[in-house]
Copies of this chain bind each other. A is one copy, B any other.
Amino acid sequence: MANSFGHLFRITTWGESHGGGVGVVIDGCPPRIRLTDADIQPDLDRRRPGQSKIVTPRNEKDTVQILSGTFEGLTLGTPICMWVKNEDARPEAYSEMATKFRPSHADYTYSAKYGIRNWQGGGRSSARETVGRVAAGALAKKILREGFGVEVLAFVSQVQGITSNVDLETVSLEQIESNIVRCPDPQAAERMIGLIEETRQAGDSVGGIVTGVARGLPPGWGEPVFDRLEADLAKGMLSLPATKGFEIGSGFAGIAMTGTQHNDPFRSIDGKVCTVTNHSGGVQGGISNGAPVYFRVAFKPVATVMHEQDTVDSEHQNTTLKGRGRHDPCVLPRAVPMVEAMTALVLLDHALRHKAQCDSIP
């Protein structure tokens, strides 16, 4: 069950970095949704390696194949299997990792857990696993947009110390895609790109923050008590590789306020209930209140660096290891479609759950 996510729009991902390929099965997709490769490929292109000078040069086209669940361009309501073949795998680049654990990677923990691991390219712990999530997320975003009027976006809001200034009410996909770092603040974007290039040249890596936003939710999505919208979003985000933190609305900064300052007063505007501020992040008691849902996700600096580092080998002997292979100096630009995907998967699942329980019967 650990490789599945969601209840009613449920995905199961499979595949390793080096092996036949990586894919996803989606169970529970509504029928009669128009679906072709063209709905999926653009997000895979935003995720794929080799897309720009600031990401890994591994050359994967990541061309999606839909193996089941559609007929004459429409979903059938049956499981949709989509996958991408692994093409530019170079296992030989990882030969040293057969016996040495890379620091702050999952080599040691997989080995400790399973007593075996595919040491080629990180195996299942590689970010390549997210291909399936992004493919499923592309479909979820489409259904949310066309069926529910909900728009899901994410963007890079911070790289190391470089912050940005973005209006969550108006930010658009076009603005996000206007530069290779996917930060819709052009000045900040330029500085971020510069920092990432410097970092690459120094053989090092940097982290940062991706902000996610969903606009157009009706009030009422989300389930008390364990499956609160923010709880499921937090799980979705922390299930992405390299993430270390999640905050919604005012988040950690809200601690500086008093209750009187933090509360979002309600006002009625044309008979519709709105909040004057949005410290809640669009969610109260785990349920959407109609305001935009927004949150921030912390990504650590990539663990692979081109410097000699202390580590141990599979015999538990001390040794050193220097990063090799083709890696990202910063995962943030490629993480944007991942954050969008997990957001859309959470929201669509909750949309269907709300429909099942709370829409009028029958």
Contact between B67 and A20 (Cβ–Cβ < 8 Å)? yes
Question: Is A8 interfacial (CB 8 A cutoff)?
Answer: yes
Question: Is A219 interfacial (CB 8 A cutoff)?
Answer: yes
CB distance from A256 to the nearest CB of B (A): 7
Question: Is A340 interfacial (CB 8 A cutoff)?
Answer: no
Question: Is A188 interfacial (CB 8 A cutoff)?
Answer: no
Contact between B246 and A208 (Cβ–Cβ < 8 Å)? no
- CB-nearest residue of chain B relative to A28? B357
Cα–Cα distance between A224 and B238 once the two chains are bound (Å): 11
Which listed segment binds B: A53-61, A166-174, A348-356? A348-356
Contact between A116 and B71 (Cβ–Cβ < 8 Å)? yes
Interface residues of A in 13-39 (CB under 8 A from B): 13-16, 19-23, 25, 27-32
- Across the interface, A204 reaches (CB within 8 A) one of B205, B237, B259, B283, namely B259
Question: Is A230 interfacial (CB 8 A cutoff)?
Answer: yes
- CB-nearest residue of chain B relative to A147? B361
Question: Is A325 interfacial (CB 8 A cutoff)?
Answer: no
CB distance from A281 to the nearest CB of B (A): 7
Question: Is A187 interfacial (CB 8 A cutoff)?
Answer: no
Given A109-B289, A225-B3, A301-B257, CB of A31 within 8 Å of CB of B116: yes
Contact between A273 and B312 (Cβ–Cβ < 8 Å)? yes
Taking A13-B79, A244-B251 as known contacts, 4 extra A-B pairs with beta carbons closer than 8 A to each other, sorted by chain A number, are A1-B7, A76-B123, A230-B243, A355-B355
